[in-house]
Amino acid sequence: MKRRILFLLALLLSLSSSYGQSIITGHVRTLQGAPVEYARVLALVPTDSTILAYTFTDALGGYRLSVSSTQPQLLISVASMEIERIDRRVENVSQTCDFRVKESRTLLREVQVKARKIWGKKDTVNYSVGAFIGKNDVVIADVLRKLPNIEVSVDGFIKYQGKPINKFYIEGLDALQGRYGIATNNISAKDVATVQVLENHQPVKALEKTQPSSDAAINLKLKDEVKGTFSLTAQLGLGYDGRVRRSEELIGLYFAKLRQHVLTAKSNDNGEDIRRELRSFTADSPLPSLTMTSLQQPDEPRISRPRYYDNDTHAFSSNNLYKLKNEAELNANLIFFHDRERTHGASQTTYFLPEGTKVISEDLRNRGTIDQLEGELRYNINKEQLYFNNLLELKASWEQEHGIVSAEGDLTQQMRQRYLSATNTSHWVRTKADGKGGEILWRNAVATSPHRLSIQPGLYAPRINSGAPYAELTQDVRHRAFLSFAELALLSAWHIGGLHISPRLFLQAQHQALDTELGATSLTGTYQPLPSRDMHNGISFTRLGAGLGHELSYKSEVFSLDAVLPLFYYHTLMQDGFRPSERLSEGKLYFEPRGWVSYKFASDFTLKLNGSIALTQPSLSSLYAGYIMQSYRSLTRHEMRQFSSRTASTGLTLSYKDIFSMLFLSAGVSYSHHRSEAISSLKIEPPLTVVERLPLPHSGQSYSANARFSKGYDWISLSVSGDAALGQSEGKSYLEGKLLGYTSQWASASGKCSLKPLSWLTMEYNVAWGLHRSRLENRSWLTPIQSLSHKVISHVNVLEDVAIKLTAEHYYNDAVTEGRHFTLADLGLAYTWRKVRLTLDWTNILGARLYSSGTLSDLVAAHSYYDIRPSAIMLKARLKIF
């Protein structure tokens, strides 16, 4: 029966991929027989010239068109700037169609021929940097933000068609291992010739036939004069905002065929966020979070981080890649980061209950220091039939924080934490020409994180210390973890038509140890652990797992499928030295299918359906039975009881792209259903909140719809983009001993427009709007929260080498009564002389000092206030030394 089902599935896949599809190949050559490169080849509807498919010829003049249409005939059109256009009517069947063309020798007078902004073929889209760059664009990130269908967030995170990219290459090499902010914020825009988007990119060449990908990657193609040349750029800055401020940078870059080096050293105290460019956007750590306590922090504003970041930062990064023999690569990366940060903000948190509301108000003033060191060593071989990758990651950090809280009374909070971890990942793939082969993935990780939180004076004496007053409360935590995960697969063990079936075996072992102690210091200065066992944990946690599943994959010109059907068994062993009678030993079986299907039709349309069922088993962080003080106003504990949560989700997306007209569209819907055997109980004793895990089954669901568009124009270099989304979620909360149902609804929209109306003027406008409302079950809606923001940036080139930059931002949030409207303005002057670029920036001209905002999430509303940086003047000199 199973074979029949698989055979029927393969037959359906074959039918869906071949229906109405024709593959037309051929060559375009001149009358003398020379190949014509970059000639545009179109497949048109003969009656109205509708474009069905397009491509460009390669260096040998070859082309390949995949046409999905019910038209009986096609019109094949070939043209370029160097040849005369030629059209030919053909039958809509797979065939070879060669062309002999005449070279065009027409003399054009007073005509400016502009390079194509966007071009591509098959799964590659190319953006000409020269067609999008402006005089005031310094680094490649400035250009990336202008490219249609590419989004770059404030922290440097890159998306294509609304999805995160999976790789970032420079000349086809991955030197930065996910930390691509180092490249986008330091490589000169003038040094890049082309930005390539590699659609449906599978980073492992040996898996291209058996594991299709729906993600995209970005590759920077550099100009020839940059390759093989070491460049060194320095920047010095000095400013004043009531105190003298500084900014220094030194950047060394070298890109060649056999090696790449990206070296950066930066330091500043003027609010520039260096840490964001050091962050890895593709990292996937197998380790659980080990931090159990933290300082209570004010909510950060939803504005650009340099607006409020009060810092003193020093950072260094060394990223090196070497091409070895046998096409192997060696990466050696090192990062050091030091920062001292001050924050000040206030908040008011409101909990909506059936009998009324409870409010917690606080003013938080914190300062902290962090030292972080990270190292990576990678050896990689990536061939058509052989892949090997070994990545060793080492991390260490030291943090100290101190804060003053003004709530019902003043108190101080202090936090110390150390963190050490080591992770090694080995990945091996060996395949044959038909895709058959084997795959082994093995990950091992170990980490430890001792940390301590102290608050003064001693709070909550009736609950904590039997009513006796005391001076200080201290939470000590020592958390260690080890994890080993192995996955073995027989790739394409079976073929049914074009369907590849790969059985997979999963093995996992995890061990954690958690020791916590809550202690009090008496008024005379004597420290003692609290006697109650409810204030301690001494846990040994072990989880062993094994699984068996099958991966189904299929890939053709128009149809792709990838699905994994795994069955897991996990056995959990847990014991607590303070609760020897509550030993846990329990096993459970989990079925977690996931997959996606993609279908291309009418050449430029793609329909994608994805779905998954995730069964989450409780981690140690939700199983400890002794209280842990997570912050000065939060005590949390759970039950040593195995429970699970199940989330089923699905989504459907339709996308369209026409690179000739620079038009990209997409729309989608999604749905998810969540069910859990336990719920978090929240009891509010202002300012304390007590959280406990209770065995109470509950469920919830959410559904949403979204749409986005991006369009570029040659006229005045206009580029517009926008997106919109709306959704609803329904769930349960357990507050003050009552199970409450709630419904939340939200809607959002944003847009962006950039243009160059005059040769000396460029402008950019951003707008974002959001609406959120909630209600208790069978109750009326709470007052909705609406926000709106605008941002306008103008560059005026008053002279050839002199430019003025004007920036204005306005924020509106109706959740707050004071400070609903918030406005910022900046003025900048830039002068370029040979290799030196001088900038004089006056930020926060209006002198705004306090940012106000409000949020609504389920049954909790939060109003926050945050200090931002004062008005400042900064002079910078950027010099390309060589």
Q: Indicate if 727 and 820 belong to the same structural domain.
A: yes
Strand (E) or helix (H) holding 455:
strand 437-456
Residues 201-210: tens digit of each pLDDT: 999 999 988 8
CB of 377 closer than 8 Å to CB of 395: no
Question: Residue 18: pLDDT above 70?
Answer: no
Q: Determine how many CB atoms are found less than 10 A away from the CB of residue 676.
A: 20
What CATH number is attached to the domain comprising 69? 2.60.40.10
Q: What is the pLDDT of residue 85?
A: 85
DSSP 235: E
CB of 724 closer than 8 Å to CB of 748: yes
Phi, psi of 119 (to 5 degrees): -150, 170
Residue that wins the pLDDT comparison between 326 and 769: 769
CB of 226 closer than 8 Å to CB of 260: no
What CATH number is attached to the domain comprising 172? 2.170.130.10
Give the mean pLDDT of the chain.
89
Query: Would you say residue 556 lies in a domain?
Result: no
Q: Indicate if 64 and 150 belong to the same structural domain.
A: no
Strand (E) or helix (H) holding 17:
helix 2-18
What pLDDT band is residue 110 in, cutting at 50, 70 and 90?
very low
Query: Would you say residue 498 lies in a domain?
Result: no
Mean pLDDT computed over 519-524: 91
Question: Residue 806: pLDDT above 50?
Answer: yes
The dihedral through the CA atoms of 688, 693, 696, 697 has a sign that is: positive
Angle at 163 between CA 162 and CA 168, to 5 degrees: 120
Phi, psi of 409 (to 5 degrees): -155, 170
Question: Residue 602: pLDDT above 80?
Answer: no
Query: Would you say residue 724 lies in a domain?
Result: yes
Q: Indicate if 214 and 102 belong to the same structural domain.
A: no
Give strand ranges (E) for 283-327: 310-323
Question: Residue 695: pLDDT above 90?
Answer: no
Query: Would you say residue 752 lies in a domain?
Result: yes
Strand (E) or helix (H) holding 813:
strand 802-813
Question: Residue 299: pLDDT above 50?
Answer: yes
CB of 869 closer than 8 Å to CB of 842: no
Mean pLDDT computed over 862-870: 91
C-alpha to C-alpha distance for 245 and 848, rounded to whole angstroms: 19
What pLDDT band is residue 79 in, cutting at 50, 70 and 90?
confident
Residue that wins the pLDDT comparison between 460 and 387: 387
CA atoms within 13 A of residue 492's CA, in its CB half-sphere: 24
Q: Indicate if 85 and 158 belong to the same structural domain.
A: no
Q: Indicate if 733 and 819 belong to the same structural domain.
A: yes
Residues 532-542: tens digit of each pLDDT: 899 999 999 99
Q: Determine how many CB atoms are found less than 10 A away from the CB of residue 530.
A: 19
Residue that wins the pLDDT comparison between 6 and 40: 40
Q: What is the pLDDT of residue 47?
A: 63
C-alpha to C-alpha distance for 269 and 201, rounded to whole angstroms: 40
Mean pLDDT computed over 653-657: 92
Give the least confident one: 418-422, 440-444, 506-510, 830-834.
830-834
Q: Go through 577-593 and write b for each residue having 16 or more CB atoms within 10 A of its CB, e for each that does not.
A: ebbeeeebeeeeebebe
Give the least confident one: 255-269, 387-401, 456-470.
456-470
Highest mean pLDDT among 369-383, 486-500, 690-704: 369-383
What pLDDT band is residue 12 in, cutting at 50, 70 and 90?
very low
Give the least confident one: 407-411, 565-569, 830-834.
407-411
Question: Residue 155: pLDDT above 80?
Answer: no
Alpha carbon of 66 to those of 29, 69, 486: distances in Å? Answer: 21, 10, 40
Q: What is the pLDDT of residue 16?
A: 42
Q: Maximum CA pair distance of the chain?
A: 101
Q: Indicate if 720 and 802 belong to the same structural domain.
A: yes
Query: Would you say residue 484 lies in a domain?
Result: no
Q: What is the pLDDT of residue 10?
A: 44
Q: What is the pLDDT of residue 2?
A: 43
C-alpha to C-alpha distance for 601 and 607, rounded to whole angstroms: 8
Residue that wins the pLDDT comparison between 58 and 509: 509
What pLDDT band is residue 53 in, cutting at 50, 70 and 90?
confident
CB of 388 closer than 8 Å to CB of 412: no
Of 201, 223, 245, the one marking the end of a domain is 223
Tally of structural domains, the chain: 3
Query: Would you say residue 611 lies in a domain?
Result: no
Q: Which two tokens stand for residue 258?
A: 């056999």
Question: Residue 113: pLDDT above 70?
Answer: no
Q: Indicate if 106 and 131 belong to the same structural domain.
A: no
Q: Indicate if 733 and 818 belong to the same structural domain.
A: yes
Q: Sheet containing 118-121: which strands, arranged edge to edge?
A: 118-121, 124-128, 192-198, 217-222, 167-170
CB of 210 closer than 8 Å to CB of 431: yes
Query: Would you say residue 179 lies in a domain?
Result: yes
Q: What residues contact residue 526 under an 8 Å CB cut-off, 6+ apart?
A: none
CB of 477 closer than 8 Å to CB of 536: no
Question: Residue 844: pLDDT above 90?
Answer: yes
Mean pLDDT computed over 804-826: 91
Q: Indicate if 53 and 150 belong to the same structural domain.
A: no
Question: Residue 331: pLDDT above 80?
Answer: yes
Mean pLDDT computed over 584-596: 91
Question: Residue 672: pLDDT above 80?
Answer: yes
Q: Indicate if 719 and 733 belong to the same structural domain.
A: yes
Of 180, 196, 223, the one marking the end of a domain is 223
Residue that wins the pLDDT comparison between 59 and 483: 483
What pLDDT band is residue 593 in, cutting at 50, 70 and 90?
very high
Domain boundaries, position 819: 646-676+696-881
Mean pLDDT computed over 423-431: 96
What pLDDT band is residue 548 in, cutting at 50, 70 and 90?
very high
Of 176, 197, 223, the one marking the end of a domain is 223
Q: Indicate if 65 and 137 belong to the same structural domain.
A: no
DSSP calls for 381-431: EE-SSEEEEEEEEEEEEEEEEEEEEESSSEEEEEEEEEEEEEEEEEEEEEE
Q: Indicate if 825 and 870 belong to the same structural domain.
A: yes
CB of 564 closer than 8 Å to CB of 549: yes
Query: Would you say residue 148 lies in a domain?
Result: yes
What pLDDT band is residue 49 in, cutting at 50, 70 and 90?
low
Mean pLDDT computed over 496-512: 92
Give the least confident one: 423-432, 577-586, 825-834.
577-586
> Percentage of the chain surpassing pLDDT 90?
57
Question: Residue 646: pLDDT above 80?
Answer: yes
